[in-house]
Amino acid sequence: MEHEEQHYEPFDPTKATRPDPALLHYYIIVSLFTVFAFPFVMLAMYFKFRSLRYGFDEKGISMSYGILWRKEMYLTYRRIQDIHVTRGLIQRWLGLASVSIQTASGTAGAEMTIEGLKNPEALRDFLYLKMRGVRDVGHEHGAKASEGGASAAVVSGGADDEAMGLLREIRDELKRIRASGGVK
Amino acid sequence: MVMEKQRRQAADWVYGGVWRVLTDWFKVPHAGDAPTLPARSGEMLKQFRPADGWLRMVKFLFWLFMWIPDVAILAGWIAVTVVLPILGVILAIPALAVAVLPDVFVYVGIHLKYDTTWYVMTERSLRIRRGIWIVHEMTISFENVQNVSVRQGPVQRYFGIADVVVDTAGAGGGGGGKHGSTMVANQGIIEGVENAQEIRDMILARVRESRSAGLGDEEHHGEHVVAATQKLGFTQEHVMVLREIRDEVRGLAKSA
């Protein structure tokens, strides 16, 4: 697959496990707006920041946070309906963004909101290229054939000949055995 | 004529200044810095804004309604001046400010909205950017589109524009909130374009082509079924060789 030139580094799913420290700054600023509730909100936000973990694997994204009240989520790339990137003023100053992922479930809000990752555009492109209708179907089949081994090999054109060759060999062996007077 | 030119220059200068503040201090993406979508080589990529007609329409609506609060403020000020002339004199400048400043803000806001709204389309997906204080970008792949519609009010028809509404099965109908009715979570609204029918037909063609329901099912389901039967079904040649093998085995069994 060839894509337009990108002016940012491609997203590395193996490194994106913890939010950037800038997210903590963002949380501090946001909780300052709550004035009197600041200590409580800040504490909750701090716990969230400390426990926030992301994981991007072959099939989907996992996200978990919380110390006393834990929340763990997993969703597959294929079920992504739409991707929203929202950048408020403070987030833009800190180079952050909220990447919200919608699935077809009935909940009102976004299914998963990934915040605190630098380079949100790269993350979005990464997710976008895994969305249904965007991935190359041909590419997908290629990937399956390579990982699926023997069963996938039957589907492709070259393997048909291999099966054919095997059948011919069996036939010829049998012929030879019969010609030499059968199995003794 | 000279006055007109100077007025235009001054307006450009002020507007340029507003943009400078927004981009440099508030990190708003530059007006010309259109969002993009990763496209395959040779894939169509269209970046566009609402049509000029949209700007004309919003300005028309602005002039149509802006005088109502202004007249109300003027009437209030006249009433105060008649009763208490001194208070009227003191209030003259604040009243003028209250009447005129919101108009200026709204007018600049209209231009800013026009300049910050971007639509990007490829053959596979759609991206919409909106917003100044909160920059919101949504991405939809046509594979996931449930429904496409065109809507046009009488005023829009007069200005030759229409909206294309693209619905997905995404969560959160009505919960979008932040940007009012134009930024619902599962709905992409391409507002104020001249070729709404064309865009609708293009997206619909893609939706019809797709065999899936857009709910996370495997794309091109039909092709998978074909592949599966091919996997099980042997060709004529295979069958011929298999028959020969059967005959050989029978012959072996007899001779044994």
For residue A86, what are the β-bridge partners?
A98, B136
Residues from chain A that touch B245, judged by Cβ atoms under 8 A, are 167, 170-171, 174
Interface test with B, best of A2, A74, A80, A82 (most B CBs within 10 A): A82
Residues from chain A that touch B142, judged by Cβ atoms under 8 A, are 133
Check: CB of residue A164 under 8 Å from CB of residue B238: yes
Residues from chain A that touch B218, judged by Cβ atoms under 8 A, are 78
Distance CA A179, CA A183 (A): 10
Average pLDDT over residues A87-112: 84
Which of the four pLDDT bands, split at 50, 70 and 90, describes residue B183?
A: low
B253, closest residue in chain A (CA to CA):
A182
Question: Which candidate from A86, A106, A124 shows the least CB-CB separation from B139?
Answer: A124
A109, closest residue in chain B (CA to CA):
B172
B144–A174: do the CB atoms touch at under 8 Å? Answer: no
Start-end of H helices in chain A: 22-32, 38-51, 89-94, 120-128, 137-148, 150-155, 157-179
A111–B171: do the CB atoms touch at under 8 Å? Answer: yes
Residue-level pLDDT at B117: 92
Average pLDDT over residues B188-194: 90
Neighbours of A7 (CB within 10 A): 7
Write out pLDDT tens, residues A102-154.
Answer: 888 766 667 788 998 888 888 898 898 888 777 664 444 433 433 433 333 33
| Confidence check: pLDDT of A158 > 50 | no
Across chain B, mean pLDDT equals 82
Chain A 98-137, residues with CB within 8 Å of chain B CB atoms: 100, 102-111, 124-125, 128-129, 131-134, 136-137
Residues from chain A that touch B185, judged by Cβ atoms under 8 A, are 82, 84, 100, 102, 109-110
DSSP E strands, chain A: 53-56, 60-65, 71-76, 82-87, 98-102, 112-115
Residue-level pLDDT at B214: 64
Sheet containing B45-48: order of strands: A112-115, A98-102, A82-87, B135-141, B125-130, B118-122, B45-48
B137–A155: do the CB atoms touch at under 8 Å? Answer: no
Residue-level pLDDT at B215: 65
Percent of chain B with pLDDT over 90: 30
Q: Is A170 within 8 Å of chain B by CB?
A: yes
Residue-level pLDDT at A50: 93
> What are the residues whose beta carbons fall under 8 Å from the beta carbon of B74, sequence distance 6 or more?
B95, B99
Predicted-assembly ipTM surpassing the 0.95 threshold: no
Write out pLDDT tens, residues B36-78.
Answer: 888 877 788 889 999 999 999 999 999 999 889 899 999 999 9
Question: Which candidate from A108, A163, A177 shows the least CB-CB separation from B172?
Answer: A108
Question: Which candidate from A132, A154, A168 shows the least CB-CB separation from B231?
Answer: A154
Residue-level pLDDT at B38: 83
| Confidence check: pLDDT of B175 > 60 | no
Greater model confidence, B184 or B127: B127
Which pTM was predicted?
A: 0.72
| Confidence check: pLDDT of B167 > 60 | yes
State how far residue B224 is from chain A, nearest Cα, in angstroms.
10
Q: Is A93 within 8 Å of chain B by CB?
A: yes
Residues from chain A that touch B140, judged by Cβ atoms under 8 A, are 81-82
Across chain A, mean pLDDT equals 78
Interface test with A, best of B135, B142, B209, B226 (most A CBs within 10 A): B135
Distance CA A164, CA A142 (A): 22
Which of the four pLDDT bands, split at 50, 70 and 90, describes residue B176?
A: very low
Cα–Cα separations (whole angstroms), residue B117 to A149, A183, B127, B159: 48, 82, 11, 18
Average pLDDT over residues A55-67: 90
Residue-level pLDDT at B55: 93
DSSP 3-state of B41: coil
Distance CA B55, CA B139 (A): 24
In the block, tokens 């991405």 appear at B139
Write out pLDDT tens, residues B147-165.
Answer: 899 999 999 999 999 999 9
Distance CA A135, CA B6 (A): 53
A82–B139: do the CB atoms touch at under 8 Å? Answer: yes
Residue-level pLDDT at B77: 92
Residue-level pLDDT at B177: 43
A131, closest residue in chain B (CA to CA):
B141
In the block, tokens 């007609």 appear at B53
Write out pLDDT tens, residues B74-114.
Answer: 999 999 999 999 998 899 899 999 888 999 999 999 998 99
Chain A 23-62, residues with CB within 8 Å of chain B CB atoms: none
Residue-level pLDDT at A152: 36
Please choose, from the candidates A53, A67, A3, the residue with its C-alpha nearest in 3D space to the C-alpha of residue A23: A53
Average pLDDT over residues A60-75: 90
Distance CA A21, CA A62 (A): 20
CA B59, chain centre distance (Å): 20
| Confidence check: pLDDT of B216 > 70 | no
In the block, tokens 């619902």 appear at B184
Amino acid at B127: R
Both structure tokens of B4: 């007109």
Residues from chain B that touch A100, judged by Cβ atoms under 8 A, are 185
Burial of B47 (0-12, 13-18, 19+ CB in 10 A): middle
Residues from chain B that touch A107, judged by Cβ atoms under 8 A, are 171-172
State how far residue A101 is from chain B, nearest Cα, in angstroms.
9
B243, closest residue in chain A (CA to CA):
A171
